[in-house]
Chains A and B, each alone.
Chain A
Amino acid sequence: MIINMNVSIKEKTQIENSHPSQLYETDHSNEYIIEVQDLTKSFNGLKAVDGISLKIRKGELFSLLGPNGAGKSTTIRMLTTVLKPSNGDARITEYSLIKEKSKIKPLIGVCPQENVVFEALTAEDNVEFVGRMHGMNPADLKERTKFLLEKMNIAGRKKATKTFSGGMKRRLNLVMSLIHQPQILFLDEPSAGLDPQARRLVWDFIKELKNTGMTIVLTTHDMIEADALSDHIAIMDQGKIIAFGTLDELKSGSSNGNILELSFSTRKALIKAKNTLTQMKNVKSVKEMQNNKLTISFSGGIETFKQEILPNVDSFKSLHFREDSLEDIFLKLTGRGLRD
């Protein structure tokens, strides 16, 4: 019997019922660096972002998680001053997004979803151009360009960036967004299109940046990325925030409980186990899957598993025990998967 257990039972708090105009706060600290109030963006009458309100604490890594078309990038484009909101406002540091966007621009760094580079120029030229636009002095700019390009493994390349791979351009974009040491870094799908090795490099670097005290706002449709990096997560769908909290809060708030996947050698053994499990008090649901597998949702954590399930179901060949993933949470909240 193979036992693959990934058990992490934590204290859970109930997530509040979400509402579009509800204000989401990462905690009750006064040091909020971003305060979004009823931010809305409509295109031809269609609301891409529908009155979201949230507060983000200084120095935290905040993720907007949601499927394509949820409104994440539109939110980022508004917060980075390139898209005018149809309604609402945001305060970034001390400045209003509507009235003082020219004061916000020097404080933020933006890594857009697409790889936006000047393709005829070298990596160094690209980074130096951005630095110049931010008014950096040549000596600092040269030194920091060298440091960041080396950090991202793209230093010393004299060819035009049009010869770069997608992954290299992605890393260059990240460098361009960081050259002027912004207070707030907006990353729109930062690891999209990266191979696992480059993705790990980017993640480690993002964690390093967070440790320097930089506030990072990222969008992703990758729950593993959100899980690996975020302090707080807002799940967006159809322009609204449908859930908000730390990963643990989200898991506890919409949780089915714990998930157990059992695999059986024969269908007869599966049916027998299914009948037994459905009669148990702490078992919420038993779903039959392909290849003689059962997915069991139950409450009571490891104790229920040890004292009730394991002694009564003994004919399985392997089991996998896990908590709800963000994918499960999203599925439960919206009725569809993150990639649908």
Chain B
Amino acid sequence: MYSLDVKAWYIAKKNIKEKLKNLGSMFWTVAFPIMMLLVYKLAFSESDDVAMINGLTVFDVEFPGIVVYTIGMSTVTSAVMFAMSKVDGTLERIDSMPVSRGNVFLGAVISETIFMNLQLILVFGFGYGVLGAHFELAMLPLGYLIAMIFGIGCIGLGLIIASFLGSPEGANGIAMLSHMALMFVSGSFFPLDNAGVFFTPQYWVKQVYLQLTVVGDFFTDLLYSGTIILPTSEASFFPIWSGILIILAFTSTFIFLGIKIFQKKTSL
């Protein structure tokens, strides 16, 4: 067996070059979130005079949803990348070289993470800098970290999807379907007040991110059941730190399962 080494970095570099040249992928991962931000800003502008708490607008509290969407796209991009490598023979080609699967997975995580950072910088720059979404500066690095941890879990989900599908088109379809479905079910795009949201990782990411970086809550506070702008929303019995534990559990479980299943399905 080969250990993890600098080869993971070369794999990551190769993955990034491939990603940057894929215009379709660039649209969904960069242009679409920017477009959504614009739509949200126009739809939920301050002039609508919607009742808010602490002077926050709908746009302010929905901005975390766009962050979740943007980062969650790594489910789709990683599913397509791994499914493609199975189909076009590049995975087998790499397998014939002195490089471990560990390096291949680490390379994918590095490239996706670098890409997620670029996406977040763009979305933060546009959302906070240009469109003026509200944020608590001191808590922003923590929000950033939560988004990245969630993103790594999404790579694991992408791996699981790629393991079962025989084509990148199929992987793209299923990954996109699951990502969008989870975005709606979790109330990340539009607030939902029902118990179902608790079963989606996206809910926890959005809610923790929202309460930390937008409202300015701290770890002693409780999570809201849906979204804090709705009159029906109530504080749940979960403290915010339990949300972070759930995000960490999601990430480790999906990365572990993703690697295990992909290895099992592709080891010949």
Contacts and interface: CB of A to CB of B under 8 A. Distances in A.
B25 to A, nearest CB: 10
B10 A108 contact: no
Interface of B: 1-2, 7, 10, 14, 17-18, 21-22, 88-90, 92-99, 267-268
Nearest first, the 4 A-B pairs at minimum CB distance are A116-B89, A132-B10, A105-B98, A120-B21
6 contacts: A77-B92, A83-B268, A84-B267, A116-B89, A129-B10, A135-B98
Contacts of A132: 7, 10
B69 to A, nearest CB: 25
B92 A81 contact: no
A187 to B, nearest CB: 13
Contacts of B88: 116, 119
B93 A112 contact: yes
B98 A102 contact: yes
A116 B1 contact: no
Contacts of B7: 132-133, 135
A110 B93 contact: yes
A80 interface: yes
Contacts of B2: 102
B96 A121 contact: no
Contacts of B14: 118, 121, 125, 129
A133 B89 contact: no
Contacts of A102: 1-2, 98
A121 B10 CA distance: 13
Contact of A105 (B10, B18, B97): B97
A176 B14 CA distance: 15
Contact of A112 (B18, B21, B89): B89
B95 A120 contact: no
Interface centre among A77, A82, A106, A176 (most CB of B within 10 A): A82
A81 B95 contact: yes
Interface centre among A106, A117, A118, A130 (most CB of B within 10 A): A118
Contact of A160 (B21, B90, B95): B21
A121 B98 contact: no
A195 interface: no
A133 B268 contact: no
Contacts of A120: 17-18, 21-22
Contacts of B93: 110, 112, 116, 176
B99 A133 contact: yes
Given A105-B97, A106-B98, A133-B97, A125 B17 contact: yes
A114 interface: yes
A125 B10 CA distance: 11
A146 interface: no
Contacts of B267: 84
Contacts of B10: 129, 132-133
Nearest to A83: B268
A134 interface: yes
Interface in A93-117: 102, 105-106, 108, 110, 112, 114, 116-117
Contacts of A82: 92, 95-96, 268
Contact of A108 (B22, B89, B90, B96): B96
Given A112-B93, A133-B94, 11 more contacts: A80-B96, A83-B268, A84-B267, A102-B1, A110-B93, A118-B90, A120-B17, A125-B17, A129-B14, A133-B7, A160-B21
A115 to B, nearest CB: 8
Nearest to A108: B96
Contacts of A118: 14, 18, 90
B167 to A, nearest CB: 15
A81 B1 CA distance: 12
Interface string A118-159: 111100010001101111000000000000000000000000
B64 to A, nearest CB: 33
A117 B92 CA distance: 11
Contacts of A114: 89
Contacts of B1: 102
Contacts of B97: 105, 130, 133-134
